[in-house]
Amino acid sequence: MRPMTAHWRKALARRRRQLMQAAGDGAILILPAAPERVRSRDTHYPYRQDSDFWYLTGCDEPDAVLVLVPGRAHGEAILFCRERDPAREAWDGPMLGPEDAMEALGLDDAYPVSDIDDILPGLLEGRRRVHYHLGRDADFDLKLIGWINRVRAQVRQGAQPPQEFLELGHLLDEMRLFKSADEIKLMQRAADISVEAHRAAMRAARAGVHEYELQAELERVFRLHDAQPAYASIVGAGANACVLHYRANAAKSRAGELVLVDAGAEYRGYAADITRTFPVDGRFGKAQRALHDLVCAAQAAALAQARPGVPYEAGHRAAVETLTDGLLSLGLLKGTLKTALADGAYKRYYRHKTGHWLGLDVHDVGEYRIDGASRLLEPGMVFTIEPGLYVPADDATVEAKWRGIGIRIEDDVLVTDDGHRVLTGALERSADDVERLMAGG
Ligand code: GLY
Ligand code: MN
Ligand code: MN
């Protein structure tokens, strides 16, 4: 456990109160910690706490359960966690333990998780609504059903089992979508670390560099700042850039190729998500530059839509229009802007959307549409803007010079009261700026 400051303890207590208020009296909210996952025989993947659990507890241990019981006189915020075990701590490091959890995390009550079967049915009894992420953790789903059945078995003795089961995300996702000033500070830190990492990768590039060497540069900088990759870093040279979630990162680059780097740091749970595409040997070719300029223009068009009151989808529409127009001018598409937009011709070269919410999860929670319509942007929302163009290496419908070029440019944007702030705006983006940086500027 990282020690938590009093300021954070208070902020987390506020979040729990806000969630309980939204759920109302008569509700109970149940959130298990993420389970540990085996990677190989008896060793585990590096542990990553469930984002919701982290958001509400600041506790990064597995085998824990947060239970929120709004209006409960004997305490509303209850944690079940592992008991301390000196023999185990000698191998795995310090554990929180229920004795210290209350004080350390600012909770009302804490019990050993080994007692949960005895205690939870009593907490469920008399609560009408259960808020829970059904289907996220099948083992835990079964435990919950067991506890509920224990209450149901007591009906003739007067027990009142819950009547309604609700998706926890309805309330919690909406809270997480709007970032507080504290969260924005952490996201800015994740962004700053990621900017430095991308610069290190650009500086380390040269013809013949392996994709994994650039990955090593990125992740060296992440670790240097107590961060880690927020998702598997993508480093794709040449036509590998056209594989949207390329992860092999094993190829050797060749002179004259572009390399696409999509990598972001996770800092205190918060993700950054940046993509830059640059020439391994420091100079864009003519065709490469033309497509890079076009993707830059599409990103600028989308960014111009990032302000309160504008539909989220307006950014995607602006990017698509700019890309389509440019592809027509460069001769990669035929026809008029109107027909090319209407028949979605751009999808041949641009297969994804222009962004996603960003936060504790790299593809963060939150609705994109409300009652069938794109939701309007509001201050505190953070999302990526990441247009791209990917010309398949075997596309015989275009001139050879375009084939195998893959470009994406991705930045992280906060909606502010009067517009936006690009959290990752410090990183070189235009072809000229990238070349200057790579030349040692
Ligand atoms: N890095 C994954 C994405 O850009 O959505
Ligand atoms: Mn992204
Ligand atoms: Mn990305």
Transcribe 55-76 into DSSP letters. Answer: HHH----SS-EEEE-TT-TT-S
Q: Is 141 a catalytic residue?
A: no
Told to judge if 262 belongs to the known catalytic residues of this protein, a careful annotator would answer yes
Q: 194 and 77, same structural domain?
A: no
Q: Domain end: 121, 149, 175, which one?
A: 175
Indicate whether 392 belongs to any domain. yes
| Ligand 1 close to Cβ of residue 386 (< 6 A) | yes
Query: Which contacts of 232-235 are long-range, i.e. CB under 8 A and separated by 24 or more positions?
Result: 233/261, 233/262, 233/263, 234/260, 234/261, 234/262, 234/263, 234/275, 235/201, 235/211, 235/259, 235/260, 235/261, 235/263
The CATH number covering residue 426 comes to: 3.90.230.10
Residues 215, 157 share a domain: no
* Domain-ending residue, one of 127, 145, 175: 175
Task: Return the CATH number at 148.
Answer: 3.40.350.10
Residues with CB under 5 A from ligand 3 (ion): 262, 273, 410
Q: Which atom of ligand 1 is nearest to the CA of 262?
A: 1
Q: Strands, DSSP E only, in 233-285?
A: 234-237, 258-263, 265-267, 270-271, 274-279
Cα–Cα separations (whole angstroms), residue 401 to 267, 295, 386, 391, 404: 40, 17, 24, 10, 9
85 is catalytic: no
Q: How many CB atoms lie within 10 A of CB 236?
A: 28
CA distance 214 to 202: 8
**85 SS3 class:** coil
* 219 catalytic residue (yes or no): no
Residue 48 lies in a domain: yes
77 and 218 together in one domain: no
* Active-site choice (198, 408, 420, 429): 408
Q: Is 279 helix (H, G, I), strand (E, B) or coil?
A: strand
45 and 169 assigned to the same domain: yes
* 273 is a catalytic site residue: yes
Domain-located, residue 1: no
Specify whether 168 is located in the same domain as 47.
yes
Domains identified in the chain, total number: 2
Between the CA of 267 and the centroid of ligand 3 the distance, in Å, is 16
Q: Residue holding tokens 């224990």?
A: 150
Phi/psi of residue 177, nearest 5 degrees: -65, -30
The residue among 155, 175, 195 that closes a domain is 175
Annotation says 111 is catalytic: no
Residue at 26 is within a domain: yes
Task: Say whether both 55 and 153 belong to one domain.
Answer: yes
pLDDT tens digits, one per residue of 363-397? 999 999 999 999 999 999 999 999 999 999 999 99
Asked if the structure places residue 97 within a domain, the reply is yes
**358 and 347 share one domain:** yes
Burial 18-30 (b: 16+ CB within 10 A, else e): ebbebbeeebbbb
Provide the residue range defining the domain that includes 185: 178-438
CA distance 312 to 420: 13
Residue 245 CA, closest ligand 1 atom number:
2
Any ligand 1 atom below 6 A from CB of 361: no
Work out the angle between the directed axes of helices 181-204 and 6-23 (0-180°, nearest 10): 120
In angstroms, the CA 268 to CA 372 distance is 34
Residue 153 lies in a domain: yes
Is there a single domain that holds both residue 163 and residue 183?
Answer: no
Give the model confidence (pLDDT) of 189-229 as tens digits: 999 999 999 999 999 999 999 999 999 999 999 999 999 99
If you measure from the C-alpha of residue 246 to the centroid of ligand 1, how many angstroms do you get, rounded to a whole number?
A: 11
Q: Are 204 and 228 in contact (CB under 8 A)?
A: no
Same domain, 163 and 229: no
Assess whether 184 and 98 both reside in one domain: no
**Rounded Cα gap, residues 395 and 327, in angstroms:** 14
Q: Which atom of ligand 1 is nearest to the CA of 408?
A: 4
Instruction: Single out the residue of 284, 248, 299, 259 nearest to residue 420, CA to CA.
Output: 299
Q: Does ligand 1 have an atom closer than 6 angstroms to the CB of 262?
A: yes
Ligand 1 pocket residue status of 273, Cβ below 6 Å: yes
How far apart CA 81 and CA 115 sit, in angstroms, is 10
Instruction: Examine the domain organization and report whether 245 and 151 are in the same domain.
Output: no
Distance CA 109, CA 79 (A): 6
> Could you tell me if residue 352 is inside a domain?
yes
The predicted model scores a pTM of 0.97
241 located within any domain: yes
Q: What span, in angstroms and rounded, lies between the C-alpha atoms of 121 and 314?
A: 48
Give pLDDT tens digits along the chain (441 positions). 566 889 999 999 999 999 999 999 999 999 999 999 999 999 999 999 999 999 999 999 999 999 999 999 999 999 999 999 999 999 999 999 999 999 999 999 999 999 999 999 999 999 999 999 999 999 999 999 999 999 999 999 999 999 999 999 999 999 999 999 999 999 999 999 999 999 999 999 999 999 999 999 999 999 999 999 999 999 999 999 999 999 999 999 999 999 999 999 999 999 999 999 999 999 999 999 999 999 999 999 999 999 999 999 999 999 999 999 999 999 999 999 999 999 999 999 999 999 999 999 999 999 999 999 999 999 999 999 999 999 999 999 999 999 999 999 999 999 999 999 999 999 999 999 999 999 998
Do 226 and 371 reside in the same domain of the chain?
yes
Both structure tokens of 181: 């000033």
Tens of pLDDT along 161-181?
999 999 999 999 999 999 999
